[in-house]
Amino acid sequence: MTLVKQSIKLYDTTLRDGSQTEGISFTVSDKLRIAMKLDELGIHYIEAGWPGANPKDIEVFQKLRRLRLRNSKVVAFGSTRRAKIKAKDDTILKGLIKAETKVITIFGKSWDLHVKEVLRTTMDENINMIRDSVSFLKSKKKEVIFDAEHFFDGYKANPEYAIATIMAAQEGGADCIALCDTNGGTITSDVFRIVEDVNRIIGTPLGIHAHNDCELAVSNSVAAVQAGCVQVQGTMNGLGERCGNANLTSIIPILNTKLDFGCVSELQLRSLTDASRFIAETSNMKQMGNQPFTGASAFAHKAGVHVNAIMKNPKSYEHLDPSVVGNRRRLLISELSGKSTILRKAEEFNMQLEKDSPKAKKILKMIQDLEHRGYQFESAEASFVLLMKRAMKEFKSFFKFEGFRVIVEDDKEGNLISEATIKVKVEGKKEHTAALGDGPVNALDNALRKALSEFYPSLDKMHLSDFKVRVLDEKAGTAAKVRVLIQSQDEKDSWWTIGVSENIIEASWLALVDSVEYKLLKDSKDSAKDSGRF
């Protein structure tokens, strides 16, 4: 087997294919945050959605145009023209142009079964649809990627026709042709053989788009690269319809560390675990603990023999230094790691923290205790900053909480009314206020900011923009702990905070207080001097 060493481009479709995961519904804010995180990771292409498919995607493309992405190209996704319609008149192609992205991906049928039974058009017309659509988009000065849908099934059923479909894309001027295992049923040896066959015939750069229905999407993607593909399509954490797509959080480190293809920088690779967990939280989907490379258990050791060996030489039971992908080793008998992550965060926020200092040990112990209770700070950086500043005694609280009460009433007309009462002390002065809201959390937010607005007018420019709840132990039923994530924003920034409790109102309150404290911290003159982040 001869490895074809070329620069590999990463193509992420979390925002489109990933959004088809059962239970996921990304908001516009979610999509923008994920796009920025993917850009930081060094993803080359971010497929943002299908323009015109729904109002949400229309808004996403409008707002993405205003983002200054450093590493990524935004991609609009759609299909070839319809049968018997000129490309210039096709509404889907016109919608793709209107998205104003530099890159457009369109899919077309490469399996004769789909041409006959799904499109219900002629084999020749399907060829023309592919060629015409690619050619039309190229005439608009776009970089065009053609996804050959069901290519591997099509090739096995009718290789001559499958090749003819991608030849049509090549004739139209496609910049890359992605071979798709859309049903996820192709085994790895067949993927390698077919990609090699195609690579001998087609001069256009090839990509791979694999689904995970046989749990082979990662191995199929890696094999396709070994056989000559120069683009890999997938999703973060393997999100996607049915059994998901190829998992980029596994593919990226395999290409970088096992095959030395270098698709991202070493620094970007160290942010992989953070990105993986951030996207899991933003998706409101629990990350699998045993997920390779980025899972909480990926480098966890429990057996006594393993722990003893790891302490002597980590290579004895680890195929990779966990820090390479931003993860950490966990010895489940005695928790001995985690300082490096804390030190990196402290450095990021210009806090002076020595590795073996009592403060570092104190913060580590606090984090371990909080994680045991259900906290996760990957997607709640504002709460993490407050935790460190409080532990290092660099934080002076802006108000003292003395109590709250929430009442939810069903009036005679069937309307639910939420009222919150807040007691706080600011600068020695007691404030006791009440406010209504659309729900308990909104009422608490209104009451707290009402109590503080006289002292901190800048709170009037802050509002809650997102709210997520995760049940941490489903088996506990209504007594289960819940994790609440709150996103807040003002005219300049947005930030996330976290709270955990068996009581959803208390968890929300904890996240809400952190959100207000962080707003006041970043607005203060002292914090502006302390950290370039503010």
Give the residues across from 107 on adjacent strands. Answer: 79, 147
Which token pair is 139?
A: 């005439």
- Look at residue 494 and tell me whether its pLDDT is greater than 90: no
pLDDT in tens, 208-237: 999 999 999 999 999 999 999 999 999 999
pLDDT in tens, 15-42: 999 999 999 999 999 999 999 999 999 9
Quick one: what percent of the chain has pLDDT higher than 90? 70
Quick one: what percent of the chain has pLDDT higher than 70? 93
Lowest mean pLDDT among 148-162, 198-212, 309-323: 309-323
Among residues 144, 60, 138, 72, the alpha carbon closest in space to that of 99 is found at: 60
Region class of 521: left (phi > 0), else alpha (psi between -120 and 50), else beta:
alpha
Among residues 424, 439, 358, the alpha carbon closest in space to that of 391 is found at: 358
Give how far the C-alpha of residue 73 lies from the chain's centroid of Cα atoms, to the nearest Å: 16
Residue range 313-319: average pLDDT? 92
pLDDT in tens, 426-458: 988 999 999 999 899 999 999 999 999 999 999
- Look at residue 472 and tell me whether its pLDDT is greater than 90: no
Please give the model's pTM, rounded to 2 decimal places: 0.75
For position 369, what pLDDT does the model report? Answer: 85
- Look at residue 243 and tell me whether its pLDDT is greater than 80: yes
Tell me, letter by letter, the H, E, C secondary structure of 355-377: CCCHHHHHHHHHHHHHHHCCCCC
For position 178, what pLDDT does the model report? Answer: 98
User: For the chain, what is the largest distance between any 2 Cα atoms, rounded to a whole number of angstroms?
Assistant: 82
Q: Is 459 exposed, middle or buried (0-12, 13-18, 19+ CB in 10 A)?
A: buried
CA 472 to CA 284: how far, in whole Å? 12
For position 374, what pLDDT does the model report? Answer: 86
Beta strand pairing status for 494-501 and 400-410? unpaired
Q: Where are the domains of the chain?
A: 9-282
Residue range 294-299: average pLDDT? 91
pLDDT in tens, 64-123: 999 999 999 999 999 999 999 999 999 999 999 999 999 999 999 999 999 999 999 999
Banded model confidence at residue 339, pLDDT cuts 50, 70, 90 = low
Which token pair is 22?
A: 């059962």
Which token pair is 34?
A: 């994920």
Asked whether the beta carbons of 440 and 421 are under 8 A apart, the reply is no
For position 348, what pLDDT does the model report? Answer: 67
DSSP state of 307: H
Banded model confidence at residue 475, pLDDT cuts 50, 70, 90 = low
For position 371, what pLDDT does the model report? Answer: 80
Q: Is 430 exposed, middle or buried (0-12, 13-18, 19+ CB in 10 A)?
A: exposed
Query: What CATH class is the domain 9-282?
Result: alpha beta
Among residues 301, 257, 273, 304, the alpha carbon closest in space to that of 379 is found at: 273
For position 323, what pLDDT does the model report? Answer: 96
Asked whether the beta carbons of 459 and 517 are under 8 A apart, the reply is no
Which token pair is 446?
A: 């209104």
CA 443 to CA 399: how far, in whole Å? 19
DSSP state of 325: G
CA 18 to CA 55: how far, in whole Å? 18
- Look at residue 328 and tell me whether its pLDDT is greater than 50: yes
Rounded mean pLDDT of the chain? Answer: 90
For position 534, what pLDDT does the model report? Answer: 42
Tell me, letter by letter, the H, E, C secondary structure of 163-203: HHHHHHHHHHCCCEEEEEECCCCCCHHHHHHHHHHHHHHCC
The sign of the dihedral angle between the CA atoms of 334, 293, 237, 383 is positive
For position 338, what pLDDT does the model report? Answer: 53
Asked whether the beta carbons of 418 and 407 are under 8 A apart, the reply is yes
